[in-house]
Amino acid sequence: MENGIIPVIKRELKLMVSRPIYIMMTIIIPLIIILFFSTFLNNGMPSDLPIGIVDLDNSSTSRLITRNLDAGQVCEIEYKLSSFEQAQDQMQRENIYAFVLIPRNFQADLLSGKNPQIVFYTEYAHYLAGSAAMKEINTILVTMSSGVNLKIRLAKAEDKAKAMANIQPIKIDSHLIGNPLMNYSYYLSSIIMPGIIFLMSLICSIYAIGTELKFQTSPNWLHASGGSLSKALLGKLLPYTLIYSIMLVFSYVIMERVLGFPTKGNILLMFGGSVMTIIAYQAAGIFIIGVLPMLRDALSVGAFYGVLGFTLTGFTYPNFAMLPAVKPFTLLYPLTQYYTLYANIQINGLSLNESYMPYLALLAFVILPLTIIKRLKSACINLDFKRE
Amino acid sequence: MNKILKDKLRQNKEAWKDLFHIITRELYNIFTDKGVLIIFFVACIVYPLVCGLIYNKEMMRDMPIAVVDLSNSSSSRKYLRLVDATPEVKIEYRCSSLEEAKQLQKKSRVHGIILIPNNFNQKLNKGEQASISVYNDLTSFFWYRNMALATSYTSQTMSAPQPFQTIQHVLYNPGGYPSFILPAVLILILQQTLLIGIGMLAGTASERNKLHTLIPRDSHYRGMLRIIFGRGLAFFITYIPITVYMLVIIPKLFNLPQLAPNVFSVLWFVTPYLLAVIFLGMSISVFFQNRENSIPFYLFMSLPFIFLSGMSWPREAMPKFWEMFSHIIPSTDAIQGYIRMMTMGADMKQVSLEHFTLWILAGVYFIIAFITYSWRIKRDVK
């Protein structure tokens, strides 16, 4: 019988189609993830957030404020309440994310120049909804206050431009390069979708190698490669590298063509980086099963390591704000490099020359398996590891 | 008459005996399985600690920014001094051109740029509206947020007083992001570890029991109700201390908001949650032939489940289908209720809908577990 990489690949493909869990890991789970994250966040902007109003003034001005708040894009007034306590109760029931309290005699105080206050209450227990509501309510109220100001000044026969300059002397021109719509989907899906595909490539390589050890078929596997563990590993994992790369390409097509994510840089650079990230995770998988040649221990460790990557990578919460002692651990994850690549290439439009470090870091992960190759080979041939 | 009653009583006694036997045997299975113990205890103890350390207690402060001050006047310097004084940002670089600053931003040395044009001072002196330009770093939502807060606050400070003032109060969880995400993660870990562990044990049973059956051949394992209750209760008992650790001790340790009226109401609230998760896990577990398969199967779900909970993405903004689907997953209502109790001080009455939903889920999953177990046992017998 022939031996080398090709027979190992053939052997692996047979294994793959014979057990449903492989189809699950390589095809079904990535597809579910792509489907979920491409449909879940809708247009990427929170809308229709219910808020409440406590109008103790009940004047034409307070009703105008209510109407304006209701007309906002993000919030909708769902409850008209009569007291702070009532509003708080609605908030605790999660029926509203924020409420605005207009005090008694508000209009009268405003007209007599007593500079009254409007207080609004939000919560950060639902962080995104709370901050989105806060931002919109604040903008609407400040704009209205300026509007009142403008009316007063125009009535005093002030020039309009001058009046505006008095009301708001410094205007901010905000440049939202890369994500003009402030679309949350761009931030989240662009990393989570590929991130879970990477996670599965890690788990799958541990599973594929560990199964050989568990069912003691590893001598067989090595035999097919002609006794070379590196050929055996290449032949075993190459099919998965290919399948996961195809899944990534598919997720890119969905993100760019269907969801319209911004793309600035060279897409080939990005694909190259993604394939290298898959390989880096597979290398980490070989390392884990090499250190712990028992399938279930290796899988538990791999799961722990892999999932933590989503917290540590910094796309949900910047590394910048983490404890200094935690920061070095972010380097343990290929996903950290992928996120840097995505930011550099897709959002900031850097060239390879300006952003080669992440590629080198991803390459460095390939060194990992080399450190345990001897041990893994001995485990494969002699099956000399602790079992239950 | 008397005889029938006696018979009934004897049967009843037998049933309790069987149930007790099953519980002890299942507990023995759990506590002698190293892999399951790692998932149940080590993961549940270590993971929250690690997450707590990663999410530093403070919100992000002093984000580095670059400024290009083309005006170089007293008012531009005043503006920049005020920006620098905000907790959100810190001026790290002063550049002579926008290009220079943009290079720094591209290399992620700074996460925002403020450009003050050279006519800034003249315009202000002439009483015209002056403008400044802000260039945001959009690689993370938080960079944008800090920059927007710092600049709008400064501009408002330098404005004339308005006819009415707007004051904002954060009623709950003023700590922001870290103390918002951690409680949700705690509830989710309970679910994911239980599901994985239950799948592992079922896979082991399939591998190990003679004839690869789910249920050991044991005279006490009779009566589907006893088997399902027995197994379920064994998991429940195991998870009582874990739940107390996760939902009561960890929040104390990391100073998370703890406004719940009392600890027992929180535990009473999560009781149907644990039951629902256990019966859901048992329903699915009949399909696991190998002990390891539950890890790849459940692992990837953690992230979608967090999103489905409605914590990070408001449920009003979810597509209708996913909103409805989300309530099938026990963690959705459990996260909502738990956070509202702990972070927002809601009482049992205010989370009654969630509590009720969880009881319904527990009931439905119990019935489904009954059906899938019957199917599996019938197949095993064949």
Nearest to A127 among B129, B177, B299 (CB): B177
- Predicted confidence (pLDDT) at residue A179 exceeds the cutoff of 80: no
User: Does any domain span residue B3?
Assistant: no
Q: How far apart are CA A308 and CA A286, in angstroms?
A: 18
Q: How far apart are CA B365 and CA B285, in angstroms?
A: 12
Q: How far apart are CA A348 and CA B296, in angstroms?
A: 35
Q: What is the pLDDT of residues B310-335, one digit of tens each?
A: 888 888 889 999 999 999 999 999 99
> Average of pLDDT values for B146-155?
85
Q: How far apart are CA B332 and CA B326, in angstroms?
A: 6
Number of structural domains (chain B) is: 2
- State whether B128 and B184 are in the same domain: no
On whether any CB of chain A is under 8 Å from the CB of B32, the answer is: no
Identify the sign of the CA torsion A263, A265, A267, A273.
negative
User: Does any domain span residue B181?
Assistant: yes
> Average of pLDDT values for B52-58?
72
Amino acid letter for position B93: Y
Across the interface, whether the CB atoms of B140 and A315 are under 8 A apart is answered: yes
- List B residues 212-241 in contact with A (Cβ-Cβ < 8 A): none
Confidence of residue A288 (pLDDT cuts 50, 70, 90): very high
User: Does any domain span residue B163?
Assistant: no
- Predicted confidence (pLDDT) at residue A184 exceeds the cutoff of 80: no
Domain extent for B141: 63-157
**DSSP bridge partners of A55:** A102
Mean pLDDT of chain A: 88
Nearest to A92 among B61, B123, B344 (CB): B344
Q: How far apart are CA B139 and CA A196, in angstroms?
A: 19
Phi-psi region of B159 (alpha: psi -120 to 50; beta: other; left: phi over 0): beta
Across the interface, whether the CB atoms of A40 and B297 are under 8 A apart is answered: no
Q: Which residue has the higher pLDDT, B348 or B176?
A: B348
Which parts of chain B are beta strand (E)? 63-69, 89-95, 112-116, 130-136, 165-172
Q: How large a percentage of chain B has pLDDT more than 90?
A: 49
Identify the sign of the CA torsion B244, B247, B248, B250.
positive
Kindly provide the ipTM of the predicted complex, given to two decimals. Answer: 0.89
On whether any CB of chain A is under 8 Å from the CB of B37, the answer is: no
A296, A336, A353, A387: which to substitute to probe chain B, counting the most B Cβ within 10 Å? A296
- State whether B231 and B298 are in the same domain: yes
User: Does any domain span residue B2?
Assistant: no
Closest Cα in chain B to A175: B135
User: Does any domain span residue B297?
Assistant: yes
CATH number at residue B126: 3.40.1710.10
- State whether B344 and B215 are in the same domain: yes
Report residue B220 CA to chain centroid gap: 39
- State whether B332 and B189 are in the same domain: yes
User: Does any domain span residue B167?
Assistant: no
On whether any CB of chain B is under 8 Å from the CB of A28, the answer is: no
Domain boundary among B97, B130, B157: B157
Q: How far apart are CA A192 and CA B155, in angstroms?
A: 36
Q: Which residue has the higher pLDDT, B280 or B7?
A: B280
Would you say B294 and A295 are in contact if contact means Cβ atoms under 8 Å apart?
A: no
Would you say B176 and B340 are in contact if contact means Cβ atoms under 8 Å apart?
A: no
Mean pLDDT of chain B: 88
A16, A21, A40: which to substitute to probe chain B, counting the most B Cβ within 10 Å? A40
Across the interface, whether the CB atoms of A121 and B171 are under 8 A apart is answered: yes
Q: Which CATH class is domain A49-167?
A: alpha beta
Across the interface, whether the CB atoms of B130 and A21 are under 8 A apart is answered: no
Residues whose CB is less than 8 angstroms from the CB of residue A143 and which lie 6 or more positions away in sequence, other chains included: none
Three-class DSSP category at B192: helix
Report the pLDDT value the prediction gives residue B184, as an integer from 0 to 100.
Answer: 93
Confidence of residue B211 (pLDDT cuts 50, 70, 90): low
Identify the sign of the CA torsion B320, B325, B328, B333.
negative
Residue with the two structure tokens 């109401």? B265
- Which of B336, B339, B278, B268 shows the shortest CA–CA distance to B308? B336
Q: What is the pLDDT of residues A357-383, one digit of tens each?
A: 999 999 999 999 999 988 898 888 888
Q: How far apart are CA A144 and CA B363, in angstroms?
A: 52
Identify the sign of the CA torsion B76, B79, B80, B81.
positive
Q: What is the pLDDT of residues A120-151, one digit of tens each?
A: 999 989 988 998 898 889 889 988 888 888 88
Report the pLDDT value the prediction gives residue B321, as an integer from 0 to 100.
Answer: 94
Report the pLDDT value the prediction gives residue B329, as an integer from 0 to 100.
Answer: 97
Question: A239-253, B16-30, B161-175, B216-230: which has the highest mean pLDDT?
Answer: A239-253
- State whether B313 and B211 are in the same domain: yes
- State whether B42 and B126 are in the same domain: no
Across the interface, whether the CB atoms of A127 and B39 are under 8 A apart is answered: no
Residue with the two structure tokens 């995104």? A128
- State whether B73 and B208 are in the same domain: no
> Average of pLDDT values for B290-298?
90
Q: What is the pLDDT of residues A24-64, one digit of tens each?
A: 999 999 999 999 998 988 777 788 899 999 999 999 999 99
A·B CB contacts under 8 A: 316
On whether any CB of chain B is under 8 Å from the CB of A323, the answer is: yes
What does the DSSP assignment read for B32-66? T-HHHHIIIIIHHHHHHHHHHHHS-SSPP--EEEE
